[in-house]
Structure 1
Amino acid sequence: MADSEEKATNEEKPIEPVAENTYTIRPNFMHKFRPAAVKEVIHSVLNEELGEKDYSAEETTEWCKQIGNQITSKLKDTGLDRYKFVVQVVIGEQRGEGVKMGCRCFWDSDTDNYAQDMYINGSLFCVAAVFGIYYY
């Protein structure tokens, strides 16, 4: 009899919603992805993380992860709650050769955008790009 009472009490508990629906399909003006502000975040992180470093092939993978995580955590603090961020970081050795990067995205041009910045010193270059996609 005790098992049936426990099942009955478990079934009667209402499920509470995680978040209320807002039905917002566009961000308001104050919560829009602004490339200039995001570029400042990228610039500060790149200067903090790479300011004193020389190129090291063994360490660049870890540096890319650290820089990507730092940028993501700082962007979460900016209040762009409904945005999903894709952060891409590329570090290479500076040998005087040219490097070209490109990207293509299929998105809503009214809400989604991107920002990028680069850091160059005598031994390395770093390009970081952040794509902000509004979550409907």
Structure 2
Amino acid sequence: MDSVSQGKRLGAVKLSRVTFRATNRDDNPTTLKEPVAPLTSRGPLSLNPPPSEGASKTTEIKRPAPAISMKGLLAAQRITRELKNRAFLRRKSRARTPNRKPTTIINEQVPAGSANPTQRFPYSQAKELIQEFLTAKLRNITYDPSTSADLTKNLCEDIKKMVRRVTPPRYKLICNMAIGSKNREDILMTSQCLWDSYSDNVTSCSYQNATMFCVVSVYAVYFE
């Protein structure tokens, strides 16, 4: 009896322990509040950072922009201007291309009845030579009626020899010169010839100093 009763008591003790633990976990009000209390004390979650942390972040993000130098600004403006000019020229060339007509080279036609020299008289080059010659010869000359005739003849011969060096072959040269006194008077000189306007040509120069004036005309006539 003692062993049976002792066994029952042990079994009762085991059951009491199991039931004690179960009732202790469910019925004890303190055990229920302990896990809930930390959650209620924390409060709702907030996504916004604390004021001190947000202020530090805003100060770090809002940094002053680097200052632009005047030299860099001028360089940028110059580059922009060059690019605009290139684009304008490119558009202009493209616009002209479709409307461009083919260029036809027409050789100079020899008039009927005119001579056709291989080289024509270089009147502009002859004019430069005559102008330099008159300036060098008459710069320090004073007008004298007694010596004007000889001076005119000598200057004409020198001018023909000088112009002959640049004249093509088969051209004849005629030199006409007039020298007069410069006494506050105006003089008008003209000449008229009947010749071949295609092959023949003429050049003229004038010079004056304090006492005299000089007018020279050189005619180049082509001879076949």
Q: TM-score, normalised by structure 1?
A: 0.77
Partner of residue 26, structure 1: 116
Structure with a larger share of its residues in strand: 1
The amino acid of 2:116's aligned partner reads R
Please give the alpha-carbon distance, in whole angstroms, between the structure 2 residues aligned to 1:59 and 1:45: 19
- Between the two proteins, the alignment pairs up a number of residues equal to 110
% identity of equivalent residues: 27
* Cα offsets for 1:16-59 (capped at 9, x unmatched): xxxxxxxxx4212xx21122111112112211221111101111
Which has more radius of gyration?
2
Question: Following superposition of structure 1 onto structure 2, how do residues 95-114 of structure 1 map, counting pairs within 5 Å?
Answer: 95-114=183-202
Corresponding position: 1:45 with 2:133: yes
RMSD of Structure 2 on Structure 1 (CA) = 1.1
The amino acid of 1:49's aligned partner reads K
Please give the alpha-carbon distance, in whole angstroms, between the structure 2 residues aligned to 1:70 and 1:93: 22
Q: TM-score, normalised by structure 2?
A: 0.47
Partner of residue 126, structure 1: 214
Secondary structure of the residue aligned to 1:107 is: coil
Structure 1's unaligned 5+ residue stretches are 1-24
Structure with a larger share of its residues in helix: 2
Partner of residue 80, structure 1: 168
Please give the alpha-carbon distance, in whole angstroms, between the structure 2 residues aligned to 1:80 and 1:66: 23
Q: Which has the higher contact order (CA 8 A, sep 6+)?
A: 1
